[in-house]
Chains A and B, each alone.
Chain A
């Protein structure tokens, strides 16, 4: 009787490349960590005072809240607009899909600085509850920025299910459009919607150019401010924001994940 072969261990070259990738990722984090533990007065290791400084800073919480709410708003608006649109395109006018895909590339191609100048010009003179508020103008700009990520995630999700058959099955059972969308289509593209939402969240939490030029005080603006004015606390802030973004993604995952979801979030489509 032959012995059961042990599972093949990783090839040495694979280990090497993995390690290299890991180092590339972790060394900056590690040095930032060491940096952030130095005292702002003496420059000596090791103290947690910098973290205390960040946590007790009112601006930190304030801007963090703004950015987080902005991210949620961007996600909500994007999903509300793009899910039905992409559904409709897949179902009724598949010829428009390539058109949408090329439209979705525009935010990649147009530099943010050009975009923000254009948008500011275009919306000049709109009511101040829109123009002067992050919830208006800035969220609008972020929906545009998030469009490519939302589109390609959702598009992959819709392509992974049989939109036509599922819709027709649902209709023949008596369901209206809204019922079909919420009960049949959405649950089956949930992981794609989640993937798009993650990306939108990451973008909004880190967007600097537009917020700066449009003069809104968001979290990235605060980080930049601390970077310029404080030494070691900036390191602490960087690490904290890194952790916060990941935590936010984690909570999105928890919200979005319910029983019956099998598809992995990372593949987007599942």
Chain B
């Protein structure tokens, strides 16, 4: 049975902003769910409803079979880690961690033992008597995590806890969060707009868009079987080839004047507009040699981006606008300006209905929302 349930959560703000439009989540005890989505999609709003800082217009929040939708935040036993600046500036790291224990009227010996353990757990055993302004951003977030864990919360809530940190600390700390989460077996809701982060540390990922959950599932499934064009675009990099079904029996589709055979297109109606999804790492590039095998587009390499072990090439030609990741060694043989053919693994490619309703993915999250 699910430990944390969000049932049909709706929240509309003054001014008609529908921040949440029917959120459904079921999370087992000890599981780690990431809410992933572009800026303004409602992630923070959802988390604040669970924490109790805000109330839904409709829907219920159930923990362990109990409806807590209208319980005050101070009575919910939720550990919350904020984006930044949440430590009490007048208290040392240890006093911050101790705060929740004092409120729970724990004895002095028990408190100091627990504070020591927790600071040790987050790797700050030595920094207990420093004030927040004497700690780096990463250390502050560790203290915030220890403080949230101190009250042995029923659910741990984290709202982009790493977004104010630099890249290296971010990767290091996210792994520690996951380690601690697994060690304590604590049910966790994690908000992020960084898909790599979500995929790296979650049991489940929920991709949100415009106040709805587009798809929810384990990271590998989200990556390999995106259910909507938006998820396909948002998770990883994806080539999306718009095509028209020309022969439903053989699965032939037409894309920019080239004919492709796609198994998943079988059984659709002739004339259907579909999206063929192809991961860049599955595109096979070869120098053009006059032959023209099936399921191949041709074009010219117009850009190379070095990504370490692989290099990302952009290939543009008549009917082709592709991104392909090839090994860096191979990329050296495919310089910019070279004419290439791109073999697409379309036989077992994913296909999505191309709905008329478009979508756009916001740039980096701005200042909107908290």
Does B80 reach chain A (CB closer than 8 Å)?
yes
Task: Please give the distance in Å from B178's CB to the nearest CB on chain A.
Answer: 21
Does B77 reach chain A (CB closer than 8 Å)?
yes
Q: Is the CB of B75 within 8 A of A184?
A: no
**Which B residues are CB-close (under 8 A) to A159?**
none
**Stretch from A41-49, A53-61, A106-114, A172-180 that touches the partner:** A172-180
Knowing A170-B99, A174-B74, the reply to whether A161 touches B80 (Cβ < 8 A) is no
**Which A residues are CB-close (under 8 A) to B99?**
170, 173, 175, 183
Q: Closest 4 CB pairs between A and B?
A: A173-B100, A187-B90, A172-B80, A174-B103
Does A22 reach chain B (CB closer than 8 Å)?
no
Does A165 reach chain B (CB closer than 8 Å)?
yes
Residue-wise, chain B 81-121 has the 8 Å CB interface mask toward A (1 for contact) of: 01001111111000000011001100000000000000000
Using a CB–CB cutoff of 8 Å, the interface residues on chain A facing chain B are 161-162, 164-166, 168-176, 179, 183-184, 187-188, 260-262
**Which B residues are CB-close (under 8 A) to A166?**
86, 88
**Which A residues are CB-close (under 8 A) to B78?**
172
Task: Please give the distance in Å from B111's CB to the nearest CB on chain A.
Answer: 13
Q: Interface SS of chain A: helix, strand, loop or mixed?
A: helix
Interface range on chain B: under 10, 10 to 19, 20 to 34, or 35 or more? 20 to 34
Task: Please give the distance in Å from A192's CB to the nearest CB on chain B.
Answer: 13
A176 to B75, CA, bound (A): 9
A162 to B84, CA, bound (A): 10
Instruction: Point out the residue from B51, B90, B91 that lies within 8 Å of A172, measured CB to CB.
Output: B51
Knowing A168-B51, A168-B73, A168-B82, the reply to whether A174 touches B104 (Cβ < 8 A) is yes
**Which B residues are CB-close (under 8 A) to A165?**
82, 85-86
Task: Please give the distance in Å from A190's CB to the nearest CB on chain B.
Answer: 8
A171 to B52, CA, bound (A): 10
Chain B: CB-nearest residue to A164:
B370
Instruction: Point out the residue from B75, B86, B104 that lies within 8 Å of A162, measured CB to CB.
Output: B86
Does B306 reach chain A (CB closer than 8 Å)?
no
Knowing A164-B370, A166-B88, A168-B73, the reply to whether A174 touches B80 (Cβ < 8 A) is no
Q: Is the CB of A172 within 8 A of B79?
A: yes
**Which A residues are CB-close (under 8 A) to B82?**
165, 168-169
Q: Is the CB of A176 within 8 A of B74?
A: yes
**Which B residues are CB-close (under 8 A) to A187?**
88, 90
Chain B: CB-nearest residue to A270:
B89
Task: Please give the distance in Å from A1's CB to the nearest CB on chain B.
Answer: 34
Chain B, 56-89, CB within 8 A of any chain A CB: 72-80, 82, 85-89
A178 to B131, CA, bound (A): 23
Chain B: CB-nearest residue to A177:
B74
Given A166-B86, A170-B99, A183-B99, 13 new contacts (CB under 8 A): A165-B82, A166-B88, A168-B51, A169-B80, A171-B72, A172-B51, A172-B53, A172-B73, A172-B76, A172-B80, A187-B88, A260-B90, A260-B91
Task: Please give the distance in Å from A175's CB to the nearest CB on chain B.
Answer: 5
Instruction: Point out the residue from A168, A176, A183, A261 that lies within 8 Å of B80, measured CB to CB.
Output: A168
Q: Is the CB of A173 within 8 A of B53?
A: no
Q: Is the CB of A169 within 8 A of B88?
A: yes
